């Protein structure tokens, strides 16, 4: 093997080991007002959205391995800040209405749940039936 390739591999290995020591925040804060919704709606949201949009995130084994862990941490942090079903009942009526509208837009256009996420979770994918249940709850028709 060429010398520079060996150097490259050594640096890469040291780097990959090094980043494992960077702290990742995998805390699940307390649930302060979990969404109240019909059970069929709740079930779908739990299966497809709660890992990024609630304080009940299930952290998979690969969320402990950098650099994947950084990406997951970022998604959960951003996801919770946009919409957190664990705080839903603390939102005022306007915010709930606004979020329901946005949420249906995302689902209708297949933007949520994120494609990288459903890649490893076929159960989180939303078919026609599930989408319709969400639509009815979110838009009222």
Interface residues with ligand HEC (CB under 6 A) are: 48-49, 51-53, 75, 78-79, 82-83, 102-103, 106-107, 112-114, 117
Which residue's CB is nearer to ligand HEC, number 6 or number 101?
Answer: 101
Q: Could you tell me the smallest distance in angstroms from the CB atom of residue 11 to ligand HEC? A: 31
Which residue's CB is nearer to ligand HEC, number 66 or number 76?
Answer: 76
105-113 contacts at long range (C-beta below 8 A, 24 or more positions apart) = 107/131, 107/134, 107/135, 107/138, 108/135, 112/48, 112/49, 113/48, 113/49, 113/52
Which residue's CB is nearer to ligand HEC, number 30 or number 120?
Answer: 120
């Amino acid at each position: 093997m060429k010398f520079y390739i060996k150097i490259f591999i050594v640096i890469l290995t040291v780097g990959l080991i090094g980043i494992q020591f960077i702290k990742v925040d995998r805390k699940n804060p307390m649930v302060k007002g979990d969404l109240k919704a019909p059970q069929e709606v709740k079930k779908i949201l739990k299966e497809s959205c709660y890992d990024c949009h609630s304080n009940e995130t299930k952290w998979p084994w690969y969320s402990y391995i950098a650099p994947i862990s950084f990406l997951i941490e970022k998604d959960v942090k951003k996801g919770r800040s946009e919409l957190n079903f664990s705080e839903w009942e603390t939102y005022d009526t306007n915010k709930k209405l606004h979020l329901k509208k946005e949420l249906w837009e995302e689902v209708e256009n297949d933007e949520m749940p994120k494609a990288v996420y459903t890649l490893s979770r076929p159960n989180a994918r939303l078919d026609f039936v599930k989408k319709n249940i969400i639509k009815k709850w979110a838009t009222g028709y």
